[in-house]
Structure formats: structure tokens, C-alpha cells
Structure 1
């Protein structure tokens, strides 16, 4: 659905009026288009203390062909870059800021004392005004629980408050993330950089992601990182599910599109357009999990599963008849558990398979009239957290938690509530189905190796549950 206010506020007259009245002016987000570079502009590299990720950053930026400049807080970057054949230089040599920036990447792994953290302040104090619209900020730290010294753990944990606050300050479509890189996971950083520095992560901000050591090869083709992968997408006939299927096919996957038999025509159309396969099943049917596992075995085992299918049945709990609770929980939660169990027990997944579940910010923050929905979506998060350490070695399971996404469902929400949903986030607008799809594609790809048992919110840093 079109966002009338966003379009108006970015028209010539609307921009003037918004400025006069002090109204917010959301920036139209840049989204991924085929053929564009990972990051189109200079990346400022900053650091403090004794940074530990500069060699890994150098290798990643060289592979991405990114243009870098160094903040005065980082020592030796220019020499390292030039020695490796990567052109770089100092961003500014005096008190005046340098040129415009598309991204800032700060290596905070060397911050072991509170005093050293002043380098973090100084870098962003200098650079934040120079960030272009739809820019990117990435702070890289060490997991606090892995720090051997208490003060170091304290400083590393403090990064979360800094990042989440900065994400609310910068506006202009700029996204800010924190990535904790565990010792031994340095070589896996490139895929995460490629996602969070690119327009693929347009509606993801204020997130904390952990990278752990993970034994899996990086994509051989970054343009089509899912080439040759067979992936199931449930609820694929329309909306977010169709966008997921389209994005996975674009990235090279062979998509198995599943939806209820009542959506057979739309499902078949999506599958044919993507040169995939349609599977008409009701996942709430007790026999469905076994049938899905059988279909996976017939394909030689699937490389990924996206649990996107879900329903809403809103009522306050005092007015909710039993069938509204039971039906929703069966579709949104029980079916996912049953499908995963059947696939694993029958050996219907490839050794490096990745599972992605679709939760919701309602499962994080709750919502009026959605005790059943919030229960199911919080349960999805519990499913991810509980299954991640129990999966066979090499597999991974994660979740995305969408916020306000422009779909047919949100178009039916009353205007006042719909506008509140759009504006109550750091981006000042609703997301698009493709935003959820891009995040899921990353989580399914070898590019996200080391990410397991985590929940990534695709909500523009919604104020709900923040």
C-alpha cells in the first residue's frame, strides 16, 4: 500500500510545509537493485584501544571493492590498506570534517576500559553529520560474556546502549547495528558486512547480532549466494511469502512454494513465475508435517525452510472463543514445531541446512487484542532459542521479527492506528515485504554463517519492545 504522507512530505510543496510546521519528513529508503555495489560511497574506518578486526575488515573491504578512509582514532589503517593494494587515506587532517560518508565502521574490539571508549565518542562526534541519507553504521565488538576482564565486559556491553541510542538520533534513513564477533569468527565477517552495509538491510536498525565460529564455506558467488539450494517457503501465495520466494529465486535458489489448497491458483502462479514448484497443503493438518518431509526426501533433501505461514484472529482474551486460540496457535507455532521435527527425524535436510522462522514484534512487545498471536510469535522465538543448540552440527535456525510492513493485512487497519504503526519507528515509515525477504535471504545464505539462535527485527527500530 502506498504511504501518502511519505510521498507528500518528499514533494516540493510538502517538504516546505513540513519544514514550516515542524513535521517529520521520512526519507524514502534505498533498496537493493541488481548490479549495484555493496556500498556506494566512502566507508569511514574508526577504532579504539588495540583493535583486533582490522585485518579481517581489510580483507572484506578489498573483496567488496569498497572505498575507505580512516578516522584519526585508528592507527595504521592507511598503511595496511595501501600495502594490500586498497586505496585509502585519512578522512580529515585537522578539526574540520572530511568529505561525505556512506558508512562508518568502528572496530570497538580493542575497548577494554571506559577511558578508551572515548575514541568511540570522538569518531561519531566527528563523523555523524557527514553521513549521507540512507547511510550505514556498524560497530564491531566482542561478546561481553567472552571477555576475560570485568571492565572490558562492561565496556563491550555498553556498546548496545550506544548503538540503540545512535540509531534513534541519526534519522534520514540511516541504519545502525552492533555485531559482536566471537574470537575465532573473524573470517566470517564479510557476509555480515555485505548485508548490513548494503541497501538489502534498509528497514533493519538498532539490532545486535552475534557471530560465532562456524564451519561452513563462504558463498562462491556473492551475486547468487543461494545458487543450487532447494528451499521451502510456507505461505508463499501472496504478500510477504511471495516476496520471500521471489527474493530467494533471484539469489539462485530453487523454491518450493507451499500454501493452503484454497490458494492453489495464486500459489501455482508464483511457482511458475519463479520456475519453482507448488505444494498445496494445510500445515495445520496433522498429516502435513509427514507429507512435507516426504516431499523434501523426494527432492534429495532441502537446504532451507522458511516458516512464513501465519494467521491473525484478534480478540481480547475475555471475548476470545476457544477456537480462535486453538486455530491460531496450531498454524503459527505447533505446525512449525511439527515440520521441523519431521524433517530432522527423517533426515530430510542437507547437512548445512538453515531454518528461518517468522516471528513478530508482537511476540516481543505484546499487543492489545493479540494474546493468542503474541503467545504464538513469542513461542516462535522460544523455538529458535531452544532448537539452535540442539540442531545437528552445521545447521542453523534463526528468526525475523517484522514490525509494520505494508501489506494487504495492514491496509485494512484503521487509519489512525495504521499511521501510528508507520511513524513509531526510527525510519518514520512502514517497511515493505521485500525488507523481510532480504533479511531472510541473508539468514538462509552462507553469508550469515556464525549467526544461529538469533532474532533479527525488521521494524525500522520500532519503539514497541525496543
Structure 2
């Protein structure tokens, strides 16, 4: 739905009044309308820096160049030339004195960042550091990036961090292209890990990345689920859209729009896992991507919550997911090199008033992916979670005006996200190029000020 404050703040006739009143001025965000392209950084000003002793610089340079960038090693001489993408290799940081490299690189850069710029910092994994001091400095880079994200958000820019394990530099292509790309428009202040945990792939296409793959999306009739189905289809996936029989009409309409297949099924039914396996194996020979998006809320303060409300939320949001996964994995319906993606929530990170049941399930999914990921890595399967923040869905449209306005502004970008913003991260996690990323939870919240 329309964001009136954004419209007024970016209108030459009314923008001055908005600023005079001290109201937030949400910046317009760049968003892609189509699928991934081979060279997304053509005609972009891309700056690459590094602390001494880093081990990921040349890998990052290769990824950027392969994506069409003419990589600069210093700020452009023209003062009015803005930087669109800035990547800094901080994997060489080992002492508190080394951390000065972050200041030296970013201090002159920040005023030169373009609108909708992307900042990405690569740093070594703290647990692999040579001693507590080096581990502390590596972890400190995350605090630096989170703070930087809050400073540059007013321009629609984002700042993120990727922890890189030694030996996993060859898995950076997917993460760098995502976090430095337009698709990360509502992902900021986040940290992901790239490791060699999952067995390597023969190839990881970056265009039509899911061509020939079968993807299942639950809760797909509308909202984030529908946006995810559409986005996966754009990358070439054959999408099976699942939702409850009560939403059959909406499900059929969405499936027709994205060129997918509708499957009406109550995932909490005792026979649902077996029926799901039979459907996927019988019609498609198996499945490559499973997106667990289905979820419900039954909000009440704990003192007023009925046992039925607790049980319903736990059943749909957690128990049904685990049961489906067990069936898919035991039967082999989920193929090797598959992808499991789970919709958690910012409520699972920070909690939320009146959502003890919902927050419990969403926090449980964060723990679930962390525990599940190493058990399926030998098959080349990755498991990750996405935690949306304030997203402009039909549910948000029904909120009281002031509640909606406050929710929109409590993030570094001063606006709500779109379902497509969530779908973009889901699609990255679903892609072959994410084979270095597993067991992660990444928020799509515009760097929400609560829980971020």
C-alpha cells in the first residue's frame, strides 16, 4: 500500500515542510523487477579496499570483475563522482591497531556514497582467529558495520558483513553479488557466514539460476509466499505452490500467474508429509528447493492465551515443518544439493508483546536451521532462515494508522519493506550460488531498530 510520508518527503513541493517538521524522510529504494543478470555491476562505480594481510581480496576482485565491474582501488579523483559499491576485505585484521584500517577506508568514503549504495565488509571467522585479541577485532567489525548501516540508511544505502572461513574464498561469488546488488535493498546491518561445510558444486549459474529445478513454496497463495513463488519462477524454477484448501481460489490464481502448479493441502494433517512426498515424487521425481513460508498468528498476552491458540501456532509454524522435513529427507524426495529455506521473523529474534507462541516458533526455527545444517551438508544441502521485519502485506494494511506509521519508521531506511524484498533473499538462499552459506539466519528488516 502507499506510503504517504514517503510521497510527501520526496515531493519538491512538500519535502521542505516534512523536514521542517522533523519527520523522517524515507528515501526511494532501488528494486529489481526481473531476474538476475550476468553483469549487474556494469556502469557502476565499484571500490575495493583491504587491510594488510587479508586473504579474500583477490577472490572478491575476481567476483566483482566477473559481474561487470571496473574495480577501483582508490576513490575517484572527481569529487562529485559517487561510489555505488564499496567492498572492504578486513580478513587481515588481527590487533586493535589493525582496526584503524576500517576508519581509514570508510571515513573519506561515506560522504561519497551514492544513493542506494551497497557496502560489504569481509572478515575472518572469529573462532578461527589466532588468539582472543584477533577474535575480538573480527567480531568488532560486525558492530562497526551495524553502526555504519544506521548512518548511511538515510540515503537508501545498505551495509552488511560476511564472515569468511579460510579456504572458502571460492564460494564468495553468490554472497558478494547478492549483498552488493540491488536485490539487497531491504537487507542491512546483517552478518552471514561463508564456509566450506557443504560439499562443493560443479557449477553455480548466476543467471536463470534455478532452471531445471523444482521448488515447493508453502503458504504461497498470497503475500510473501506468492512473491517468493514469482521470484523463484523468474529464475527458471518449476514452482509447486501449496496452501490450505480454504484459499484454493487465491492459490489457483497465483499459480496461474507465475506458471506454477497449485497444491491445496493442510500441512498439519497427519497424512500431510506422506501426501507431500507422494505428490513431489510422483509428478516431479523429487524436489530441489523447499521454502517453508506457511505460518499463522493467534496473538494474545500469555495470561489470556488459550491452550488452543498455543497449540495451533506450534502445530503450523513448527511441528508441521519438522514433520515435512523428516519425510522429505528420509524418502530422498529432497534431492542432493537441495535447498531448505525457513521463514522465521524478527519476533523470533527480539520477541513481541502478545506473541509468546509465535515468537517461540520463530526462534525455534533459528535454532533448527543451525542444528540441521551440518547433518545434511554431506549431501550438498543448505539450510537457512530468513527473518522478515515490517513488511507491507495485507495484514499490515489492516493495522491502525498510527501503529502502521510507527512500524514503518523504526528502521534505518524509515520505511516498510515489500514482499519482494523477502523473496529476493529467499531466492539467493535457494540458489546454487549459496552453497557456502548454511545454518544462517539473515533478517530482512531494513535494519530494524529493535532486534537488529
Q: Given the two structures, how large is their TM-score scaled by the length of structure 2?
A: 0.95
The answer to whether residue 106 in structure 2 is matched with residue 124 in structure 1 is: yes
Displacement of 1:164: 0.6
Displacement of 1:236: 0.6
Per-residue displacement from partner, 1:361-398 (whole Å, max 9, x unpaired)? 01111111111111111111121122112225111111
Distance 1:220 1:372, change over 3 A: closer
The answer to whether residue 57 in structure 2 is matched with residue 54 in structure 1 is: yes
SS in 1 for 2:357: helix
Per-residue displacement from partner, 1:391-419 (whole Å, max 9, x unpaired)? 25111111000000001011111112111
Distance 1:278 1:369, change over 3 A: same
In the TM superposition, 1:21-420 aligns within 5 A as: 21-34=21-34, 37-39=39-41, 40-71=43-74, 91-92=76-77, 99-171=81-153, 172-213=155-196, 214-217=198-201, 221-298=205-282, 299-391=284-376, 393=378, 394-420=380-406
- Partners of 1:308 and 1:218 lie apart in 2 by 29
> Does the Cα contact within 8 Å between 2:8 and 2:18 map onto a contact in 1?
no
Displacement of 1:237: 0.7
> Does the Cα contact within 8 Å between 2:204 and 2:433 map onto a contact in 1?
no
SS in 2 for 1:386: helix
Once structures 1 and 2 are overlaid, which stretch shifts more, 426-435 or 274-283? Answer: 274-283
Displacement of 1:215: 2.8
Q: What RMSD, in angstroms, separates the aligned Cα atoms of the two structures?
A: 1.5
Displacement of 1:5: 1.0
- Partners of 2:204 and 2:189 lie apart in 1 by 30
> Does the Cα contact within 8 Å between 2:199 and 2:377 map onto a contact in 1?
no
| Aligned residue number for residue 425 of structure 1 | 411
- Partners of 1:209 and 1:222 lie apart in 2 by 19
SS in 2 for 1:410: helix
- Partners of 2:28 and 2:448 lie apart in 1 by 17
> Does the Cα contact within 8 Å between 1:70 and 1:91 map onto a contact in 2?
no
- Partners of 2:362 and 2:202 lie apart in 1 by 31
- Partners of 2:187 and 2:181 lie apart in 1 by 11
- Partners of 2:202 and 2:247 lie apart in 1 by 37
| Aligned residue number for residue 443 of structure 2 | 457
> Does the Cα contact within 8 Å between 2:61 and 2:71 map onto a contact in 1?
no
Distance 1:399 1:188, change over 3 A: same
Aligned residues: 445
Displacement of 1:98: 7.1
Distance 1:98 1:217, change over 3 A: farther
- Partners of 1:216 and 1:305 lie apart in 2 by 20
Unaligned runs of 5+ in 1: 72-89
| Aligned residue number for residue 74 of structure 1 | none
- Partners of 2:242 and 2:32 lie apart in 1 by 26
> Does the Cα contact within 8 Å between 1:218 and 1:447 map onto a contact in 2?
no
- Partners of 1:382 and 1:154 lie apart in 2 by 24
Once structures 1 and 2 are overlaid, which stretch shifts more, 204-213 or 269-278? Answer: 269-278
- Partners of 2:51 and 2:368 lie apart in 1 by 38
SS in 2 for 1:13: coil
Displacement of 1:458: 0.3
Once structures 1 and 2 are overlaid, which stretch shifts more, 360-369 or 142-151? Answer: 142-151
Displacement of 1:461: 0.5
> Does the Cα contact within 8 Å between 2:65 and 2:71 map onto a contact in 1?
no
Q: Given the two structures, how large is their TM-score scaled by the length of structure 1?
A: 0.93
| Aligned residue number for residue 81 of structure 1 | none
Displacement of 1:168: 0.7
Per-residue displacement from partner, 1:199-219 (whole Å, max 9, x unpaired)? 111100000100001433375
Once structures 1 and 2 are overlaid, which stretch shifts more, 106-115 or 209-218? Answer: 209-218
- Partners of 1:268 and 1:219 lie apart in 2 by 34
